[in-house]
């Protein structure tokens, strides 16, 4: 316990490990420094007022005004540095994540190519089958690379206000069914199953079909990744008023309550999920939230660590 207290008081170490900046650019140190400056400014102003003014009230008001001005300026400076530091942390996190995410499929592609090049002795039939398998690996990992780049570009477009939403009437149930088929291989790998429920005569929805596919795909990817093996994922579609509700529930690792507030942030991944699933950019939910809200809907969730998560969103029904 004593070691923990001294560790927290070690400002230089905090600046180096938590913020990855020098002490003179560290918000913690700057806040402490501004506190010292405020105290010194108060004492100096009090000394001047006390020696050059006979009015005690004027002396007190001068000291208080000096403290207020100094503290305000200091607070603005510290907040500015904190913003820069947070951006620096976000950049470092992004570079670490993207390097890992790109390296994995690129390594798989290189391995498949090397395997084809270094096995000329395989007989014709065997080589043909092997080439087919290697080509499949190359295609799958190439698609992963394209998907990663596409997601990163979408994040950039969102930040710059340049992402386009093109609403149209379409059948949400049909879209969900197609995505489930696309996820068959991933489901089989974890021996999971999906139960799909839908209201009868579900109306068409009015949204960007391609963007909604992305949002649903991201939600489904998370449900599969973080589900426990041999478990069920439940998807339901229903109409509520003039909106259609999409809901997906898994029975996996769940999200710690303390991290609920960050769940839709860029590059966020809960600490407990990394043990189960090391891959992921941490932008799927960020993109899903933007897409749903830009489509005139709302997205939310509930989750309990160790019991699983339920995400749902609403989008307007077509008129």
Structural domain boundaries of the chain? 2-89, 99-159, 168-316
pLDDT the model gives residue 165: 85
pLDDT the model gives residue 1: 44
Please name the fold of domain 168-316. Heat Shock Protein 90 (3.30.565)
Please name the fold of domain 99-159. Helix Hairpins (1.10.287)
Alpha-carbon dihedral angle through residues 162, 248, 171, 201, given to the nearest 10 degrees: -150
Same fold, 99-159 and 168-316: no
CA distance 30 to 273: 34
pLDDT the model gives residue 2: 45
Residues forming a β-bridge with 46: none
pLDDT the model gives residue 129: 66
Residue 193, φ and ψ in degrees, nearest 5: -135, 155
pLDDT the model gives residue 170: 96
pLDDT the model gives residue 176: 96
Strand residue runs (E) in the chain: 168-170, 193-198, 205-207, 232-240, 243-249, 298-304, 308-316
pLDDT the model gives residue 101: 67
CA 294 to chain centre: 18
- The pTM assigned to this predicted structure is 0.63
pLDDT the model gives residue 195: 94
Please give the chain's pLDDT, 319 residues, in tens: 444 444 455 666 666 656 555 665 666 666 677 667 767 776 776 676 667 666 666 666 666 776 677 667 666 666 666 665 565 666 656 666 666 667 777 777 787 777 777 765 554 445 556 777 788 888 877 777 777 777 777 877 777 777 888 999 999 999 999 999 988 888 888 899 999 999 998 999 999 999 999 999 999 988 998 888 889 999 999 999 999 999 999 998 888 888 888 888 876 666 555 555 545 667 888 889 999 999 999 999 999 888 899 999 999 999 8
CA distance 189 to 196: 19
Surface-to-core class of residue 115, CB atoms within 10 Å of its CB (0-12 exposed, 13-18 middle, 19+ buried): middle
CA distance 259 to 294: 24
pLDDT the model gives residue 21: 56
């Amino acid at each position: 316990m004593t070691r923990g207290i001294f560790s927290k008081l070690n400002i230089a170490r905090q600046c180096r490990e938590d913020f990855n900046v020098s002490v003179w650019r560290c918000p913690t140190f700057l806040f402490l420094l501004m506190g010292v400056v405020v105290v010194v400014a108060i004492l100096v102003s009090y000394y001047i007022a006390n020696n050059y003014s006979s009015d005690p009230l004027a002396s007190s008001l001068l000291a208080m005004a000096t403290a207020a001005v100094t503290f305000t300026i200091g607070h603005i400076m510290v907040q500015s540095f904190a913003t820069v530091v947070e951006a620096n942390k976000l950049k470092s996190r992004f570079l670490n994540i993207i390097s890992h995410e790109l390296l994995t499929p690129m390594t798989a592609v290189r391995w498949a190519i090397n395997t084809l090049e270094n096995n000329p002795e395989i007989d014709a039939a065997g080589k043909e089958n092997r080439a087919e398998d290697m080509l499949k690996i190359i295609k799958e990992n190439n698609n992963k690379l394209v998907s990663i780049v596409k997601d990163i570009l979408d994040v950039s477009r969102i930040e710059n206000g340049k992402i386009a939403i093109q609403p149209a009437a379409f059948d949400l149930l049909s879209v969900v069914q197609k995505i489930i088929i696309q996820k068959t291989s991933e489901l089989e790998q974890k021996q999971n199953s999906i139960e799909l429920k839908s209201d009868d005569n579900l109306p068409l929805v009015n949204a960007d079909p391609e963007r909604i596919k992305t949002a649903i795909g991201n939600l489904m990817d998370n449900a599969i990744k973080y589900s426990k093996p041999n478990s069920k994922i439940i998807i339901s579609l229903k109409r509520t008023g003039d909106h259609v509700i999409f809901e997906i529930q898994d029975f996996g690792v769940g999200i710690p309550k303390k991290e609920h507030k960050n769940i839709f942030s860029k590059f966020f991944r809960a600490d407990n999920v990394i043990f189960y699933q090391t891959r992921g950019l941490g932008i799927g939910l960020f993109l899903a939230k933007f897409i749903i809200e830009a489509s005139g809907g709302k997205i939310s969730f509930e989750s309990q660590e160790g019991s699983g998560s339920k995400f749902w969103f609403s989008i307007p029904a077509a008129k």
